[in-house]
A = this chain, B = another copy of it.
Amino acid sequence: MGLTVLQSALFADKTKHLGKSARSRARLIDAALAVFAREGLEAASVSEITREADMANGTFYLHFKDKGELTLVVALSVAAEIAREMDDAMADIDDAIERVSFGTRQFIHIASERLNWGWAFCRAFWVLPELRMGAGQYLRRDLERGVAQGVFSIPVDDFLVEMVGSLVNVALFARMNGTAGPEAGSKAAEMQLRLLGVDPELAKRVAWQPLGGALSGPTS
């Protein structure tokens, strides 16, 4: 299960039925993802993105007001897509402990497997508050669920969400780096659960249990 599952045109593929304009826009988003992943948000230039998308330089501004707008759109598109996939996969998990564990592992899995997403996400995370907010929404609900279920022993507030959420991003970063292997997700999940007050034994058990068919699921 390597990192190099080739998979281009993630967003463009979904717009075959839409107008030409929407398709161009999607192609730009895909290209931007690739370039962001390669070079980072600031280092990516509009011309490189359009070159990657096989378009003329000026076409960019028909679809986006700004480089900044593109950045946002790309990040949120990725986040939304990941969220959608995860919602699907997690729809019938009730236990907050399992949800947090599965969510973290699954997220890291998806992001690192999907070409360009992992890096793009890492690169954008600390720069785009919108991204952190968006991701935080999901996490927060599970944390609150855990408190309600009496399994997390720590009050949920923005700060907690940021801290627990950042652990996911840091683990993803290590994964992309090569600093950490495929076990990064489990390790991160275990740490989160310990932090949240789950018994260490249980945390380890849940975080390292096989992910089930979900893994091979909607990876595209």
Q: Which residue of B lies closest to A125 (CB)?
A: B126
Given A159-B184, A163-B188, do A200 and B197 touch, yes or no (CB 8 Å)?
yes
Bound state CA distance, A179 and B132, in angstroms? 13
Bound state CA distance, A197 and B187, in angstroms? 14
* A167 CB–B CB distance under 8 Å: yes
User: Which of the residues B159, B180, B197 comes within 8 Å of A194, measured between beta carbons?
Assistant: B197
Q: Which residue of B lies closest to A180 (CB)?
A: B159
CB distance from A215 to the nearest CB of B (A): 21
CB distance from A73 to the nearest CB of B (A): 21
User: Which of the residues B42, B174, B195 comes within 8 Å of A195, measured between beta carbons?
Assistant: B195
Q: Give the residues from 167 to 214 in chain A that come closer than 8 angstroms, CB to CB, to chain B.
A: 167, 170-171, 173-174, 179-180, 184, 187-188, 191, 194-197, 200
Bound state CA distance, A42 and B184, in angstroms? 29
Contact B167 A187 (CB under 8 A): no
User: Which of the residues B43, B167, B180, B187 comes within 8 Å of A166, measured between beta carbons?
Assistant: B167
Given A154-B194, A197-B194, do A162 and B188 touch, yes or no (CB 8 Å)?
no
Q: Which residues of B contact A174 (CB under 8 A)?
A: 159, 162
Q: Which residues of B contact A179 (CB under 8 A)?
A: 158-159, 162
* A21 CB–B CB distance under 8 Å: no
* A77 CB–B CB distance under 8 Å: no
Bound state CA distance, A174 and B162, in angstroms? 8
Bound state CA distance, A154 and B192, in angstroms? 13
Q: Which residue of B lies closest to A41 (CB)?
A: B42
Q: Which residues of B contact A187 (CB under 8 A)?
A: 159-160, 163
Bound state CA distance, A159 and B160, in angstroms? 21
* A153 CB–B CB distance under 8 Å: yes
Bound state CA distance, A103 and B170, in angstroms? 21
Contact B180 A170 (CB under 8 A): no
A: which residues have CB within 8 A of B? 42-43, 126, 153-154, 158-160, 162-163, 166-167, 170-171, 173-174, 179-180, 184, 187-188, 191, 194-197, 200
